[in-house]
Chains A and B, each alone.
Chain A
Amino acid sequence: MTEPVLAIRDLVVEFDTPDGVVHAVDGVSYEIYPGETLGVVGESGSGKSVTVLSALGLIQMPPGRIVRGEVIYQGRDIIGLPLDELRKIRNKEIAMIFQDPMTSLNPVFTVGNQIAEALTAHNEKMSKDAARAETIGLLEMVGVPNPDRRFDQYPHEYSGGMRQRAMIAMAMANKPSVLIADEPTTALDVTIQAQVLEVMKVAQEETGAATIIITHDLGVVAEMADRIAVMYGGKVVETGTVEQIYHTPRHPYTLGLMMSLPRITGEMKRLLPIPGNPPSLINRPPGCSFHPRCRMSEGRELCRTVVPDLISGAEDHPSACHFREEVADELLREAAATGIAAHGGSLG
């Protein structure tokens, strides 16, 4: 059994706002193993970004605060590390790319300058020329044409896809063990999305980094991930392999997500959204935070009162639902009702 390269354990993060305390991350735990790609899926407000930002200490505290939890990297907890220790980990060991590459790059410095900065920040002895040469190599790796010329250009002279490639280059510069991509393709055109994902795959192959992809786009996750963690209302509600999540979901929310995907194959009469709205993170529903929108919780006291834990069943497929065994039946029922193919108890 290999050790995870990064492990988040029971992380709780809150924010003080004029309207009350926002429980953004409510006891989140997941791991990522060397070389794999973990997809973290959820709606806006599910806490997926705040989790990783807190891990790297990139949350503003105040108004945010890390109430408890650990983030274990190389055997030590990086939460609460003094800043100069944390700095050595950022980008060199754990790197991150963000959603909007236009605003994530400093407009007054050249792109090359900013990438080279990532190199020199962690390699004090590197000369300017060496940094430049290596940056040009990185730009080439991510597929930016004319990297020599592009080095001296400013972010506004790059296209959206190119900027994201530059961000990837910046993140991979020091060959980190973990790459975290927070909604990397959300701000891009669909056609560019595919290219950028390709670049990420290449970068991953070259460096062997474990990757966490955070997104709400189920298509992206299907493309890139080996395993998936589904988040809802600040908690992880289900984890599993891509097959498990897509074909045999074991949580009503995941089921709802899968059922709501439009399908190309087969006949579909109507789209099936999950009814209701995401929960308020200030006044959370008692018990299971999904229960107000969950058909299965009807008439069930347990769902309304007790918060379900993320427990693995027989199949090593953890799910946070009191009635996780019933989800399979629910799946069949709903599939029948809507004409979605379901063979042998799993979604086609």
Chain B
Amino acid sequence: MGTFIARRMLYSIPVLVAASMLVFFGMSLVTDPLSQLRLIPNMSQETLQNIIDRKHLDDPIIIQYGFWVRDMIFDGFGNSAIGDNPIWPDLKRAIGNTLQLVLISEAIAVVLAVILGVLSAKKQYSFFDYTTTTISFFGFSVPIFWFALILQALVTTFFLKTGIRLFYTFGQSNLGAANPFLDRIQHMALPIITLAYVNVATYSRYQRASMLEVLHSDYIRTARAKGLSERTVTMKHGLRNALIPIVTVAALNFGGVLGGAVITETIFAWPGMGKFFIDSLIRGEIYTLMAWLMVTAIAVIAMNLIADIIYGWLDPRIRYD
């Protein structure tokens, strides 16, 4: 197992390097910082020159790449081009905020999905199965932003009709709230529901499919023939095998989720990675964007690694390749 982990980790390094190159050179292909900057009104020649110096914009691109990498590792991605503000502190805060949302919603989604998937598989063709299937299909046919909007509208209407504020539809917290913990939860609830809903739909289908396949396999028949109880057969022999795909999918998905909650965060004005990204994009802050991309790439690579390791731990056949 140890060598397995070491091998996987070693493999991640070139991917990281390749990703950094893709981000930097990709971004350079798509846009030219210099012309972007020139587009900004009221930019004095002095400021412009200052930016050029700081970001080595008149050096060959390879050199620029080198400086960027150095900044990334030693200086928290350096400062933004236009505002000359350090990138890392804001980015860090954004990461923290997004993690709050995402960790909770993923956890809820996985747990719910496993329960729903296993029950659906056990009771295949039952009313329960058809109902959950329909809800799932609905779940991955719904545009997230629309779902979020409807949730907001419902909660607001509820408030308007009854005067009770069930959840908050904007922002992260209200200053001076009586119970900050409850206040935070009230703010988090809607975005979490939104994120979780779509994931539950997808994951539960996965889980159902994988559970069905497992339940029809020969070793389940052997387990029954051994005289084990149905519960042991399903929970011990069945689930253990059926969990493998979903855990890996969830882990992989989780990596992407750091950068993927863009829409939800925008709609609920949650100050996380998504908002950070849109703001930088609108302002044309290229270096901030690149930092954001790198962070998400690192998150994905890290989660891929963890997913691989979890997969190896769960499925003994993989460890020996």
A binds B: yes
Interface residues of A, Cβ cutoff 8 Å to B: 56, 58, 83-84, 87-92, 95-96, 98, 100, 103-109, 117-118, 121-122, 154, 156, 167, 170
B316 / chain A contacts, CB cutoff of 8 Å: 107-108, 154, 156
With A58-B221, A105-B219, A106-B222 given, name 10 new contacts (CB 8 A).
Answer: A84-B229, A87-B227, A87-B229, A90-B227, A95-B225, A105-B222, A106-B219, A106-B237, A107-B241, A117-B226
B225 / chain A contacts, CB cutoff of 8 Å: 56, 58, 90-91, 95-96, 98
Q: How far is the CA of A83 from the CA of B232 in the complex (A)?
A: 13
Please give the distance in Å from A60's CB to the nearest CB on chain B: 8
Offer 23 A-B interface pairs, CB within 8 angstroms, sorted by A. A56-B225, A58-B221, A84-B229, A87-B228, A87-B229, A89-B227, A90-B227, A91-B227, A95-B225, A96-B225, A98-B218, A105-B219, A105-B222, A106-B219, A106-B237, A106-B241, A107-B241, A107-B317, A109-B237, A121-B227, A121-B228, A167-B222, A170-B222
Q: Per a CB cutoff under 8 Å, which of B219, B223, B227 touches A103?
A: B219
Q: How far is the CA of A83 from the CA of B241 in the complex (A)?
A: 24
B218 touching A100, Cβ below 8 Å: yes
Please give the distance in Å from B115's CB to the nearest CB on chain A: 21
B230 lies within 8 A of chain A by Cβ: yes
Contacts A154-B316, A154-B317: A98 and B224 contacting too (C-beta < 8 A)? no
A105 / chain B contacts, CB cutoff of 8 Å: 219, 222
Q: Per a CB cutoff under 8 Å, which of B222, B227, B315, B317 touches A92?
A: B227
A98 / chain B contacts, CB cutoff of 8 Å: 218, 221-222, 225
A117 touching B222, Cβ below 8 Å: no
B3 lies within 8 A of chain A by Cβ: no
Q: Which of A87, A106, A121 has the most CB of B within 10 A?
A: A106
B314 lies within 8 A of chain A by Cβ: yes
Q: How far is the CA of A43 from the CA of B192 in the complex (A)?
A: 58
B226 touching A106, Cβ below 8 Å: no
Closest residue to A167 on the B side, CB-wise?
B222
B224 touching A58, Cβ below 8 Å: yes
Q: How far is the CA of A110 from the CA of B218 in the complex (A)?
A: 16
B315 touching A104, Cβ below 8 Å: no
Q: Which of A95, A100, A118, A167 has the most CB of B within 10 A?
A: A118
Q: Per a CB cutoff under 8 Å, which of B219, B227, B228, B229 touches A107?
A: B219
Q: How far is the CA of A325 from the CA of B125 in the complex (A)?
A: 52
Please give the distance in Å from A171's CB to the nearest CB on chain B: 8
- How many chain B residues touch A (Cβ–Cβ < 8 Å)? 22
B219 touching A170, Cβ below 8 Å: no
A104 touching B219, Cβ below 8 Å: yes
A154 / chain B contacts, CB cutoff of 8 Å: 316-317
Q: Per a CB cutoff under 8 Å, which of B221, B228, B314, B317 touches A104?
A: B221
Q: How far is the CA of A62 from the CA of B141 in the complex (A)?
A: 32
Q: How far is the CA of A106 from the CA of B241 in the complex (A)?
A: 8
Q: How far is the CA of A109 from the CA of B229 in the complex (A)?
A: 18
Q: How far is the CA of A91 from the CA of B229 in the complex (A)?
A: 13
A121 touching B219, Cβ below 8 Å: no
B228 touching A103, Cβ below 8 Å: no
A170 touching B226, Cβ below 8 Å: yes
A167 / chain B contacts, CB cutoff of 8 Å: 222
Q: How far is the CA of A37 from the CA of B222 in the complex (A)?
A: 22
B240 lies within 8 A of chain A by Cβ: yes
Closest residue to A83 on the B side, CB-wise?
B230
Q: How far is the CA of A109 from the CA of B224 in the complex (A)?
A: 16
Please give the distance in Å from B124's CB to the nearest CB on chain A: 10
A95 / chain B contacts, CB cutoff of 8 Å: 225
Q: Which of A56, A89, A108 has the most CB of B within 10 A?
A: A108
Q: Which of B217, B316, B317 has the most CB of A within 10 A?
A: B316
B241 / chain A contacts, CB cutoff of 8 Å: 106-108
A107 / chain B contacts, CB cutoff of 8 Å: 219, 241, 315-317
A89 / chain B contacts, CB cutoff of 8 Å: 227
Closest residue to A100 on the B side, CB-wise?
B218
Closest residue to A173 on the B side, CB-wise?
B226
Contacts A100-B218, A103-B217, A104-B219: A90 and B317 contacting too (C-beta < 8 A)? no
A118 / chain B contacts, CB cutoff of 8 Å: 226-227
Contacting residues of chain B (19-44) with chain A, CB-CB under 8 angstroms: none
A104 touching B226, Cβ below 8 Å: no
Q: Per a CB cutoff under 8 Å, which of A84, A91, A100, A108 touches B240?
A: A108
A108 touching B314, Cβ below 8 Å: yes
Please give the distance in Å from B289's CB to the nearest CB on chain A: 43
Q: How far is the CA of A117 from the CA of B229 in the complex (A)?
A: 12
Q: Which of B222, B223, B237, B316 has the most CB of A within 10 A?
A: B222
A103 / chain B contacts, CB cutoff of 8 Å: 217-219
A106 / chain B contacts, CB cutoff of 8 Å: 219, 222-223, 237, 240-241
Interface string of B196-225 (1 = CB under 8 A from A): 000000000000000000000111011111
Q: How far is the CA of A89 from the CA of B227 in the complex (A)?
A: 7
Q: How far is the CA of A97 from the CA of B182 in the complex (A)?
A: 58
B315 touching A108, Cβ below 8 Å: yes
Q: How far is the CA of A340 from the CA of B227 in the complex (A)?
A: 48
B221 touching A91, Cβ below 8 Å: no
B226 / chain A contacts, CB cutoff of 8 Å: 90-91, 117-118, 121, 170
Closest residue to A110 on the B side, CB-wise?
B316
Closest residue to A153 on the B side, CB-wise?
B316
B240 / chain A contacts, CB cutoff of 8 Å: 106, 108-109
Q: How far is the CA of A152 from the CA of B186 in the complex (A)?
A: 51
Q: How far is the CA of A170 from the CA of B227 in the complex (A)?
A: 12
